């Protein structure tokens, strides 16, 4: 036992699965609480520094386990204070995470997959193809790494996490949910349910399962008020049309005060007319929601253009007048290609998108 390759990466466990692991080794399950605190609250990866564990346990852990973060392939800082990391995984694939400091919070935008299979026509990640799901360790590792690096710099730690980087989080359900358990765990990052947001293109079965296992905030990438246009922009819509997706979202947020954040990328002449704004307002009448308009962020070879500022304002006003709280997302980090939809990563096998897309949406594409 204990060769480099077979060591367990403790970043793969949330507290419950770590307790089970300890129990399986004949240890007290409460060790998990101590370890989770050291690893996630303190950012410690060296067992020798974990002074409330016995020497014997520390030695044993060194033999069988490790805390293995991600390697940094690039670390870029934007003039507006945001920061983008390109992380390299053990298999050579690379993913991106973005840190966005604001007055009241500091948000980390993380990835859930290497690439993405959904092939949304306006997204740069889509053009890169799909390779694989991230492990829990690789998902939580982005937050773990970010907080360690921010601390070194004297920057504020992450206060909010959004699954708005590369990938579709609901297609990597178990690993994503386990990572959110750590984000919310008082012994780990202790982020409240409003401070962790999962953004989805609308995977209905995933939405239905989600309600049973977590209460984190939900964002839906809608982008169109009708199925014809949405089929074109978000091909997943051919499998899960707007009506079903909105119904699943409504069920997830329940009857309380929670609302779905509806994301809508503003594409010049495509989805930004007055009439489309009115159709959208009508569509959302029965869904507790708030709108987040995202000015399109261009990337090489895209056929789309960003709607101009007056158009976005007009669109927002129409929604406002219909009683829908609407904000326009500020573009951050565009000098380092860190804005929404610009995360490209860098990975090896880009050929799996097609087969994966067929797997996800059937032969419809």
Q: Which residues are catalytic?
A: 96, 340
CB of 59 to ligand SAH, least distance (A): 42
Site string for ligand SAH, 220-249 (x = CB under 6 A): -x----------------------------
* Nearest alpha carbon to residue 334 among 302, 304, 297, 294: 297
Binding segment toward ligand SAH, per CB under 6 A, in 96-104, 116-124, 208-216, 320-328: 116-124
3-class secondary-structure state, position 106: strand
- Identify which of residues 39 and 265 has a Cβ nearer to ligand SAH in the complex: 265
Span from 146-154, 194-202, 206-214, 351-359 in contact with ligand SAH (CB under 6 A): 194-202
Single out the residue of 294, 336, 344, 360 in contact with ligand SAH (rule: CB under 6 A).
294
Distance (Å) of CA 228 to CA 221, 233, 280, 328: 16, 9, 14, 25
Complex with ligand SAH: residue 33 or 160, whichever CB lies closer: 160
Distance CA(352)–CA(133), nearest Å, equals: 12
User: In whole angstroms, what is the distance from residue 361 CA to residue 365 CA?
Assistant: 7
Please classify residue 309 by burial: count the beta carbons closer than 10 Å to its beta carbon, then call 0-12 exposed, 13-18 middle and 19+ buried: exposed
- Strand order through the sheet with 83-88: 71-77, 83-88, 94-101, 106-109, 160-163, 196-200, 217-221, 260-266, 289-295, 326-328
Residue 254's region, left for phi above 0, alpha for psi from -120 to 50, else beta, is left
How far lies 178's CA from each of 12, 14, 17, 155, 347, in Å? 9, 6, 9, 27, 24
Question: Which one of 12, 138, 185, 263 is in contact with ligand SAH (CB under 6 A)?
Answer: 263
When asked if residue 201 is in the footprint of ligand SAH (CB under 6 A), the reply is yes
Phi, psi of 158 (to 5 degrees): -65, 130
Name which of 35 and 171 has its Cβ closer to ligand SAH: 171
Residue numbers 21-80 binding ligand SAH by CB under 6 A = none
Measured from the CB atom, the residue of 179 and 265 that comes closer to ligand SAH is 265
CB of 39 to ligand SAH, least distance (A): 27
Stretch that binds ligand SAH, among 7-15, 250-258, 290-298, 351-359 (CB under 6 A): 290-298
Distance linking the first and last C-alpha atoms of the chain: 48
**Does 267 sit near ligand SAH (CB under 6 A)?**
no
The CA distances from residue 117 to 135, 161, 245, 337, in Å, are: 17, 22, 18, 21
Chosen residue from 122, 144, 252, 347 binding ligand SAH by CB under 6 A: 122
Q: Binding string, 326-365, against ligand SAH, x = CB under 6 A?
A: --------------xx------------------------
- What token pair was written down for 111? 């990835």
Q: In this chain, which stretch among 29-37, 52-60, 71-79, 117-125 interacts with ligand SAH, using CB under 6 A?
A: 117-125
Q: Which of 297, 307, 316, 318 binds ligand SAH (CB under 6 A)?
A: 297
Helical ranges in 284-325 per DSSP H: 309-321
- By CB under 6 A, what part of segment 124-183 binds ligand SAH? 124, 164, 168
Q: Which lies closer to ligand SAH via its Cβ, residue 67 or residue 86?
A: 86
Exposed, middle or buried by CB within 10 Å (0-12, 13-18, 19+), for 56? exposed
Of 173 and 187, CB closest to ligand SAH: 173
Stretch that binds ligand SAH, among 58-66, 140-148, 289-297, 355-363 (CB under 6 A): 289-297
HEC per residue, 24-79: HCCCCCCHHHHHHHHHHHCCCCCHHHCCCCCHHHHHHHHHHEECCCCEEEEEEECC
Shortest Å distance, C-beta 154 to ligand SAH: 29
State in angstroms the smallest separation of the CB of 265 from ligand SAH: 4
Please report, as ranges, the residues that interact with ligand SAH according to CB under 6 A.
120, 122-124, 164, 168, 199-201, 221, 263, 265, 294, 296-297, 340-341
């Amino acid at each position: 036992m204990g060769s480099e390759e077979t060591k367990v990466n403790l970043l793969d466990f949330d507290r419950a699965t770590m307790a089970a692991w300890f129990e399986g080794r004949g240890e007290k399950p409460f060790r998990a609480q101590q370890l989770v605190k050291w690893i996630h609250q303190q950012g410690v990866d060296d067992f020798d520094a974990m002074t409330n564990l016995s020497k014997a346990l520390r030695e044993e852990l060194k033999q069988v386990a490790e805390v293995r973060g991600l390697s940094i392939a690039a670390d870029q800082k934007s003039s507006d204070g945001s920061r983008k990391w390109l992380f390299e995984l053990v298999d050579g694939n690379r993913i991106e995470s973005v840190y966005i400091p604001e007055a009241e919070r500091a948000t980390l935008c993380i990835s859930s997959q290497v690439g993405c299979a959904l092939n949304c026509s306006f997204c740069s990640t889509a053009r890169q193809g799909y390779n694989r799901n991230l492990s829990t360790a690789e998902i939580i590792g982005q937050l773990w790494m970010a907080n360690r690096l921010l601390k070194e710099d004297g920057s504020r730690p992450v206060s909010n996490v959004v699954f708005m980087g590369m990938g579709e989080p609901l297609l990597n359900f178990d690993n994503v949910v386990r990572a959110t358990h750590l984000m919310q765990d008082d012994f780990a990052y202790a982020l409240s349910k409003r401070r962790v947001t999962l953004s989805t293109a609308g995977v209905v079965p995933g939405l239905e399962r989600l309600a049973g296992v977590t209460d984190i905030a939900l964002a839906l990438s809608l982008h169109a008020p009708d199925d014809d246009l949405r089929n074109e922009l978000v091909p997943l819509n051919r499998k899960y049309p707007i009506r079903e997706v909105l119904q699943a979202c409504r069920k997830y947020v329940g009857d309380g005060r929670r609302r779905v954040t509806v994301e809508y990328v503003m594409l010049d002449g495509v989805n930004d007319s007055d009439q489309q704004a009115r159709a959208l307002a009508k569509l959302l009448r029965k869904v507790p929601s708030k709108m987040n308009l995202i000015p399109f962020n261009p990337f090489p070879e895209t056929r789309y253009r960003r709607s101009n500022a007056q158009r976005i304002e007009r669109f927002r006003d129409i929604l406002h007048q219909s009683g829908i709280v609407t904000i326009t997302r500020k573009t951050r980090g565009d000098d380092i290609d860190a804005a929404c939809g610009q995360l490209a990563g860098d990975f090896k096998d880009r050929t799996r998108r097609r087969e994966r897309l067929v797997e996800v949406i059937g032969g419809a594409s």
